[in-house]
Structure 1
Amino acid sequence: MTSLPDFLRIDAVSRHVSLDGRNPAFYSDPNQVYSALHQHCPTFYWEEQRQWFFTGYEHVNALLRDRRFGRQILHVASREELGLPEPQAHLVNFDLAERHSLLEIEPPEHTRLRTLINRAFVSRHIERLRPEIADLAERLIDGFEKDGKTELLSSFADIIPVTMISRMIGIPDEMGPQLLKWSHAYVGMYMFKRSKEDEYAADRAAKEFADYVKTLISDRRRTPAEDLLSHMIHTERKSSDSGRGQHLTDDELVSTTIVLLNAGHEATVHQIGNSVRVILESGLTPAELFRDETATERTVEETLRICAPVHIFQRWALEDLEIDGVSLKRGDKVSLILAAANLDPRVFSDPLTFKPDRKEAQNLSFGAGIHFCIGAPLARLELNTVLPILFRRLPDLRLEAKPVVKDVYHFHGLERLDLVW
């Protein structure tokens, strides 16, 4: 049994764990901690977070699908019953933007909203974007190939996902930099490092983001276009007129657009950087990893398994129940560590090793169940398209320096990725 790092304390009997999520030794290489947790107590109470966490593949996979858990709790109990605090005044804009988010709601509202937009994200429709994604990647590389070096996040990874999701929704390319600023501030609410200043920044971003989306909604009502926002507005009118109860309010349109923009690029930006780093550090030959479509898909899935961009999904217990010997009360919140489930040694052989030829379980990086990431087909297409192009165009690609991981846990991404060739 391997010894534990100094910053991690595990009591395997009580299944209590002490771990500072802000410690660079942890968030720089969380896989080592996940490995220790699998060894000692895959289900554990994280003392600093005051919550039960699950890392086992079977538990995480099952709990993501278990309808006794949900993303909401106030549809089955009041704040008073659960002892939850009232909403904070300085987060009123953020809370409004989140109120109808696909990530935060449960059926029947979730079913209604997801049905309205799901068609745009199914694989057969997303596949049509491959030439456009490839062209964008090629043009970006044209811009820095002659330099012999680049910081890949700002010159490549940041640009492709935000450009593609913006075009799908109907937002001009030139808004990309502003969307990135809003998104980075907005998702600061989900990070362990969150401070009061982060909360104020997220609320400001939510208001500015919402105000901008409202101008788009107004414009698309006057002049519909061939984009997802027009589709949502058109479906709203059509369904309302037919009396089917499929009406989308302005608040729902704003929340849906914001979550699609954030989820449609934030994780993929991290994953492009993570994937390039893992491939370059693996010592494997990129030309072989991307030799054909099948090899490319396996390589991409293995990078998603071993360095997922989003590590934790949370759920509320909607009733009293017991999971893996843990008694939970209605209103308890639990966390599922997707990235740790991807490293479960009972499911994946030699789990800390990058092995693109493995034929084992599907990784859980996009979640599972009704909240399975709606943008997964787009993210997978972007990764399967741009990574082979990058390594084909720059066959001598290598790391200029050891990349530094951002202090954004429970996301996992790099501060920058300096490359030379």
Structure 2
Amino acid sequence: MDSAPSSLPPSFARISDRGIELDPRDPGFFQDPYPTYAALHAIGPFVHWRELGNPAVVGHGLVSALLRDRRFGRILPAGEDGRPSYEAIPAHLRNFYAIERHSLLDLEPPTHTRIRGLVLKAFVSRSIERLAPRIAALAEALIDGFADTGEVELVEAFATPLPVTVIAELIGIGAEDAALLLDWSHRMVAMYQFGRTEAVEREADRAAAEFRAFIREAIAAKRRRSGDDLLSALIAAETERGSLDEDEMISTVVLLMNAGHEATVHQIGNGVKAVLEAGLYDPGRLFADERVAARTVEEMLRFDTPLHLFRRVALEDVTLAEGLALRRGEDVALLLAAANRDPAVHAAPNRFDPAREGPAPLSFGAGLHFCVGAPLARLELRIALAALFRRLPGLRLAAPPRFRDSWHFRGLERLDLRFTT
């Protein structure tokens, strides 16, 4: 049965043809943003969101097109090399933006093209599928830690340590440093939340300085003694466009570490919640067959993706056929999660349906900035969830799940479960 929300706006949102007034940090919204998205879909493919200060695009077709449209970028480049300037940043954020300045997320061609090519070459040299046995072993070991208890808080016991360990080992960083990496990552990612404070900014800057120093030491160690890891591959990688300098390498590793675990942590929690709340008779059967498991993972990504907001900036004056007009330098907010539930492309979009057919979810973006870690994330989800549902019969919710106050990067505070021992 489709649990489709009404197209009427929730009480905490004021929606009209002229736009939407809504604080993204209203608990009624970040606990369940989908009724609001349904109301926005009833208006059209985009609407002006006052609190965000720019148009918000919800239509699947328009979001997909804007992700691929080269008249839009992540930043407005300061010069021909495709880098941002960041000249006007406050002093208390100089360490944070020293990393961001070389990050793939904040670059455009030609610098983005060069760095992305080197990163992809390093990923290919590692062959993500080779990680499958290690991911499976980690999942089994984590489950061993609570399989006899009959209950577990999944976010801390399983969803967090698995992807953190995988990405750390892939990069070439010891898993014993996972706690440090998690702390730095959480403090840095908080910079992207709506309504951040100066205290959040200062914490992010301190984390960036510490993370940067840590990676610099790791690079020095790998230069002395390389290994079969991504960091060693980045040091060795060369193309016709040249190699990475050390600042670029540091920013790349920080991005891979932060993005390489945060989204997967949240998707494990969001996905397990979705499966259990859907009331499927035997969730384990969804992952017993690899093809069915792959389709179930895609539906998890569509149904409740962690990444809800991805900003683009107009690189020139643009007027689209849908009526959206932007001047050079103006931002547009692409609401990926809303696009994934567009009723124009998905029948009963608010129903979790592993057998669903239709366009691929936009959860990893598209175009120039498509997530380089998407294959790894999909592999981790398929293997980890197969082990979880196979090992824990009768898995069920033990308490109502609650989401964090972090709408842009949606994830559960905790997921308390019970199961049969």
Give the TM-score normalised by the residue count of structure 2.
0.94
Write out aligned runs for 1:185-200 (5 A): 185-200=187-202
User: What is the Cα deviation at residue 384 of structure 1?
Assistant: 0.5
Per-residue deviation, 1:296: 0.6
| Aligned counterpart, 1:23 | 26
Opposite residue 350 of structure 1, the aligned amino acid is: A
- CA shift, 1:229, in A, is 0.8
Query: What is the aligned partner in structure 2 of residue 299 from structure 1?
Result: 296
Mapped contact 2:10–2:35 kept (Cα < 8 A): no
The structure-2 alpha-carbon separation of the partners of 1:299 and 1:191, relative to structure 1 and needing over 3 Å to count, comes to: same
**1:267 alignment partner AA:** A
Q: d(CA) in 1 for partners of 2:305 and 2:382?
A: 15
Residue 259 of structure 2: aligned partner: 263
- The 5 A counterparts of 1:32-51 are 32-51=35-54
- Counterpart CA distance in 1 for 2:242 and 2:124 is 20
Structure 2 unmatched runs, 5+ = 1-5
Paired with 1:118 and 1:127, the residues of 2 have a C-alpha distance of 15
Q: In the alignment, is the contact (CA less than 8 A) between 1:290 and 1:388 conserved in 2?
A: yes
Whole-angstrom CA distance in 2 between matches of 1:291 and 1:212? 41
Structure 2 residue aligned with 1:119? 121
Output the amino acid matched with 2:294. E
| Corresponding residue for residue 94 of structure 1 | 96
- Tell me by how many angstroms 1:193 deviates: 4.1
User: Match of 1:301, SS?
Assistant: helix
The 8 Å contact of residues 314 and 336 in structure 1, kept in 2 or not, is answered as yes
Residue of structure 1 in register with 2:343 after alignment: 345
Contact 1:193–1:409, Cα closer than 8 Å, also in 2: no
3-state DSSP of counterpart to 1:315: strand
Q: CA deviation at 1:3?
A: 2.8
Matched with 2:234 is 232
Match of 1:8 among 4, 13, 20: 13
Retained in 2: the 8 A contact 1:120–1:126?
A: no
Specify the SS of the correspondent of 2:11: coil
**Equivalent position SS for 2:148:** helix
Equivalence map 1:80-229=2 (5 Å): 86-122=88-124, 125-229=127-231
The reply on whether 1:335 has 2:338 as its aligned counterpart is: no
> How far did 1:2 drift?
4.0
**TM-score of the superposition, structure 1-length normalised?**
0.94
8 A contact 1:76–1:318 mirrored in 2? no
CA distance in 2, matches of 1:187, 1:143: 29
Amino acid corresponding to residue 55 of structure 1 in structure 2: V
Partner of 1:58: 61
Structure 2 residue aligned with 1:75:
78
Residues 199-248 of structure 1: per-residue CA shift (max 9 Å, x gap): 1110000000000000011111111111111111122xx56xxxx44131
The aligned residue for residue 287 of structure 1 is: 284
Deviation at 1:85, TM superposition (A): 8.4
The aligned counterpart of 2:3 is none
Superposed CA deviations along residues 247-306 of structure 1, whole A, max 9, x for unmatched, are 311110110010000010000000000001111111012033223111111111101101
Q: Which residue of 2 aligns with 1:402?
A: 400
* Alpha-carbon separation, structure 1, partners of 2:125 and 2:246: 28
Measure how far apart 1:75 and its partner are: 2.9
- 1:160-187 Cα shifts (integer Å, max 9, x gaps): 1111111111000101111111100000
When the two chains are superposed, the root-mean-square deviation of aligned CA atoms in Å is 1.7
Instruction: Give the structure 2 partner of residue 360 of structure 1.
Output: 358
Q: How does 1:355-394 map to 2 (within 5 A)?
A: 355-394=353-392
Q: 1:7 to 1:360 in 2, by over 3 A?
A: same
CA distance in 1, matches of 2:201, 2:32: 26
Which consecutive unaligned segments of at least 5 residues does structure 1 have? Answer: none
Q: Which amino acid aligns with 1:361?
A: P
Partner Cα separation in structure 2 for residue 73 and residue 279 of structure 1? 41
| 1:420 Cα deviation from its structure 2 partner | 1.1
Q: Distance in 2 between matches of 1:138 and 1:409?
A: 31
- Say which SS state the counterpart of residue 334 (structure 1) adopts: strand
Q: Which amino acid aligns with 1:113?
A: I
Deviation at 1:117, TM superposition (A): 1.5
- Superposed displacement of residue 123, structure 1: 11
Q: Does 1:320 align with 2:317?
A: yes
- CA deviation digits over 1:120-156, x for unaligned, max 9? 4359911111111000000110011111111111111
Q: For residues 22-44 of structure 1, give each alpha carbon's deviation from its aligned partner in whole angstroms, at most 9, with x where no partner exists.
A: 01110111111111110123301
Instruction: Kindly provide the CA deviation profile for residues 306-335 of structure 1, in whole angstroms up to 9, marking residues without a partner as x.
Output: 100111111110000112212211010111
Question: For each residue in 1:69-102, what CA deviation from the matched residue of structure 2 results, as whole angstroms up to 9, or x when unmatched?
Answer: 011203359xxxx9x9821111000000101111
Asked if 2 retains the 8 angstrom alpha-carbon contact of 1:121 and 1:378, the reply is no
The one-letter code sitting in structure 2 at the alignment partner of 1:391 is F
Preserved CA contact (<8 Å) 1:123 1:377: no
1:23 is matched by which residue type in structure 2?
D
Alpha carbons 2:122, 2:233 under 8 Å: kept: no
